[in-house]
Amino acid sequence: MATIYIVMGVSGVGKTTIGKAIAQQLKIPFYDADDFHPPSNKDKMASGTPLQDEDRWPWLDTIVVQYPQWKFKGAVLACSALKKEYRSRLQVDHKQVETIYLSASFAFVQQRLSVRKNHFFNPTLLQSQFDTLEAPESGIICDATLSKDSLVRHIINTMKQQTTSQLGLIGLGVMGKSLSRNFANHNITMSLYNRHVPNVEEDVAVQFVYSYPELKDSCGFDAIEAFVNSLSLPRKIFLMVNAGPAVDAVVTSLEPYLSIGDIIMDGGNSHYLDTERRTKALQEKGIHFLGVGVSGGEEGALKGPSIMPGGTTEAYEHVGPLLEKIAARDTHGNACCAKVGSGGSGHFVKMIHNGIEYAEMQLIAEVYDILRHHGMLSLEEIAQIFDLWNEGEENSYLLEISSKIVRKTEDGQPLIDVILDKAQQKGTGSWSTTAALQIGAPFDTIAQAVLARIISSEKEQRVKGQQHYNIEREEITNFDIATIKSAYHTARIINHAIGFETLRKASKHYDWDLHLSEIARIWTNGCIIRSTLMEQLIPILDGFDDTILFHESVIPQITNGQSNLKIIVQQAMGTGASIPVFSASLSYFNAMIQGDSSASMIQAQRDFFGAHTYQRKDKEGTFHTVWE
Ligand code: 6PG
């Protein structure tokens, strides 16, 4: 039995035009329900008298009687079918009846009818149609204000997609749009859904699908049920909505339509503990939930991001091949995407990525500040230094963009000089700091980068401070670029060591089985912290069960670089610079190489004022001293 498609909506919305075009494309007959009205109904309509229920029942029965002739080839029927019960009547004798609802506002239809030539139009009749209309919530729902071609394409694609889309994506912000185009460019059939906010976000997915040729086989939805039903089983749904309550809200709206074994992936920057909670809650219902870290910004999302999924192997087997298709490639051509671990590990790894990102950004800002305000170099000279460094082992995406940033002018003026010096943040940097402290991971460089952003945002206080103290920044007299480069290199290694050690601790703490070398590999391309250093860390982290600072290939580098790091920290701090990440990296390094630390004093103080006890170097046990 073939499907009978009922193109429905109020008079004048375009049912006949669209219905005929669909029938032509599907190569099946078209019928106009108006042709089945008894003469009495036709007379009423011609005189502008609205039809009532009792007029419509015999008319619908006449149509249904035709079904036996239509059911083998299928058919397209243009019929107002305004009420739910009319549609039920049209479906009663045939299982495969699909409604295609052409939706439009009263004003739109009125305007369209008013310009129709040779058409009798009675506004009372139109009002009565809108009063009678009970808009369907399922079936194919379309925005009738789209062009004829767009509408027909949408309807045909929706029909094709109804059981065949490989992947669904929810949330068409900047990242969601770019990822959808990336999936489509890799021949992955997509269903796209964006929330419906009356007068604000309407038909976003449908409109988006028609804006890009690569989405020609994708389908946009404004109704969640139709979206879910368009996905092949097990359903794979990628969320690109704002982290926080929006993720819970979308998951709740999806749940009634999902089946056991379906997979939801959260591609936003969600907090990993939220991901753990959602994973457990959905697991109990037989639904897989994967926290998927995605890095690379808008361009990465479109051309190849670094992807960090965490969750069950069973779920990854279904979604991995799709994610790996759209990911960036490493130098060997392998996807910068791999299951990083179980539970909320994907979002944890992405969070630490962002922490490293914060400190890497801050280090470049500190280098820039030293070169500009203490080395007295021009912006062009700084850009040239960054370019030179980028040609060698300091190469990184962040350094590349920083060179472009210092060269950028607007109306002949350097843009950097007019950008307000208040750094914003969305939260992942401070989340990573809190999370590291909670599992006892020293996070010096990253915590300082977060604090630097916080202090930067206190602009008014800083300006007051400048007025109160009026201490000029001084020039560094014996300025040496090679020393700064070496200090920068050393601080970067220390920052990466801190990031990866936090991952190591978290992996043990949460039992995630993270593979640090593999994480470094998927961070070599597509993501914001891609760099030559990251490439070098892949073999260093492979099978090495300790901090990279103790690796035989790193020790000589740090041995050479640490003295330069000391020089730069002394020079910069001594001349009035604020260099929190440079100084934190040195402080961390100094602490990590002190077999004897100042903590004996802390323990003694704790015992002195609180009888908290201490342990000793010379004998086993727990001790308390009566100090006075
Ligand atoms: C990435 C970025 C991305 C985002 C940061 C910005 O890897 O693509 O990290 O996720 O740009 O989260 O964070 P802030 O607004 O906190 O700087």
Determine the pLDDT at residue 469: 97
216 in catalytic set: no
The highest-level CATH class for domain 596-628 is mainly alpha
Query: What is the spatial distance between Cα 550 and Cα 537, in angstroms, rounded to a whole number?
Result: 13
Q: Give the Cβ contact number of residue 44 at 10 Å.
A: 17
Query: Does the pLDDT at position 28 exceed 90?
Result: no
350 in catalytic set: yes
Mean pLDDT of 447-474: 97
Query: Does the pLDDT at position 123 exceed 70?
Result: no
Task: Report pLDDT digits (tens) over 566-609.
Answer: 999 999 999 999 999 999 999 999 999 999 999 999 999 999 99
- CA distances, 258 to each of 232, 255, 287 (Å): 11, 5, 8
Query: What is the spatial distance between Cα 69 and Cα 360, in angstroms, rounded to a whole number?
Result: 71
**Ligand 1 atom closest to Cα of 428?**
16
Mean pLDDT of the chain: 93
Mean pLDDT of 33-59: 87
Mean pLDDT of 302-324: 97
Per DSSP, the chain holds a count of helices (H) and strands (E) of 27, 14
Whether the CB of 456 sits within 6 Å of ligand 1: no
pLDDT confidence bin for 553, thresholds 50/70/90:
very high
Asked whether the domain spanning 596-628 has the same topology as the one spanning 350-592, the reply is no
Task: List the one residue out of 289, 268, 306, 295 whose CA is nearest residue 342.
Answer: 289
Ligand 1 center to residue 55 CA distance, Å? 62
| Beta strands 413-414; 409-410: pairing state | antiparallel
Exposed, middle or buried by CB within 10 Å (0-12, 13-18, 19+), for 276? buried
Query: What is the spatial distance between Cα 142 and Cα 583, in angstroms, rounded to a whole number?
Result: 60
- Ligand 1: residue whose CA is nearest its atom 4: 297
CATH H superfamily, domain 4-154? P-loop containing nucleotide triphosphate hydrolases (3.40.50.300)
Whether the CB of 429 sits within 6 Å of ligand 1: yes
Query: What is the spatial distance between Cα 367 and Cα 373, in angstroms, rounded to a whole number?
Result: 10
- Ligand 1: residue whose CA is nearest its atom 11: 297
CATH H superfamily, domain 164-343? NAD(P)-binding Rossmann-like Domain (3.40.50.720)
Q: With beta carbons less than 8 A apart as the criterion, state whether 298 and 269 touch.
A: no
Determine the pLDDT at residue 121: 55
Determine the pLDDT at residue 2: 55
DSSP character at residue 505: H
Determine the pLDDT at residue 44: 85
Please tell me which residue, 53 or 551, carries the higher pLDDT value. Answer: 551
- What percent of the chain has pLDDT above 70? 97
Query: Does the pLDDT at position 448 exceed 90?
Result: yes
Whether the CB of 269 sits within 6 Å of ligand 1: yes
| Token representation of residue 245 | 């309550």
pTM: 0.78
Task: Report pLDDT digits (tens) over 504-534.
Answer: 999 999 999 999 999 999 999 999 999 999 9
Query: What is the spatial distance between Cα 283 and Cα 343, in angstroms, rounded to a whole number?
Result: 11
| Token representation of residue 623 | 């001790």
- CA distances, 230 to each of 152, 157, 261, 363, 541 (Å): 17, 11, 16, 48, 43
Task: Report pLDDT digits (tens) over 359-377.
Answer: 999 999 999 999 999 999 9
Whether the CB of 426 sits within 6 Å of ligand 1: yes
Mean pLDDT of 185-191: 95
The winner for highest mean pLDDT among 77-91, 205-219, 542-556 is 542-556
Ligand 1 center to residue 267 CA distance, Å? 13
| CATH domain 350-592 topology | N-(1-d-carboxylethyl)-l-norvaline Dehydrogenase; domain 2 (1.10.1040)
Out of 71, 339, 350, 485, the active site residue is: 350
Whether the CB of 428 sits within 6 Å of ligand 1: yes
Determine the pLDDT at residue 11: 87
Please tell me which residue, 161 or 252, carries the higher pLDDT value. Answer: 252
Query: Does the pLDDT at position 49 exceed 90?
Result: no
Mean pLDDT of 471-486: 95
Query: What is the spatial distance between Cα 496 and Cα 472, in angstroms, rounded to a whole number?
Result: 34
Q: With beta carbons less than 8 A apart as the criterion, state whether 290 and 314 touch.
A: no
Task: List the one residue out of 502, 482, 490, 512 whose CA is nearest residue 442.
Answer: 502
Whether the CB of 296 sits within 6 Å of ligand 1: yes
Query: Does the pLDDT at position 122 exceed 80?
Result: no
Out of 71, 177, 236, 357, the active site residue is: 357
Mean pLDDT of 150-158: 88
The DSSP string of 273-322 is: HHHHHHHHHHHTTT-EEEEEEEESHHHHHHH--EEEEES-HHHHHHHHHH
Task: Report pLDDT digits (tens) over 374-412.
Answer: 999 999 999 999 999 999 999 999 999 999 999 999 999
Q: Give the dihedral of Cα atoms 583, 586, 587, 590; nearest 10 deg.
A: -160
Query: Does the pLDDT at position 177 exceed 90?
Result: yes
User: What residues does each domain of the chain span?
Assistant: 4-154, 164-343, 350-592, 596-628
Mean pLDDT of 13-33: 91
Task: List the one residue out of 295, 158, 176, 291 whose CA is nearest residue 227.
Answer: 158
**Cα angle 433, 613, 505; round to 5:** 30
pLDDT confidence bin for 544, thresholds 50/70/90:
very high
- The distance between the two most distant Cα atoms of the chain, rounded to a whole number of Å, is 112
Mean pLDDT of 247-259: 96
Ligand 1 center to residue 28 CA distance, Å? 51
pLDDT confidence bin for 219, thresholds 50/70/90:
confident
Ligand 1 center to residue 528 CA distance, Å? 8
Sequence-distant (≥ 6) Cβ neighbours of residue 62 within 8 angstroms? 36, 38
> Which runs of consecutive H residues, i.e. helices, occur in 97-147?
106-114, 123-132
Say whether the peptide bond before residue 309 is cis (omega within 30 degrees of 0).
no
| Beta strands 288-295; 306-310: pairing state | antiparallel
Ligand 1 center to residue 75 CA distance, Å? 51
Determine the pLDDT at residue 1: 44
Mean pLDDT of 213-235: 87
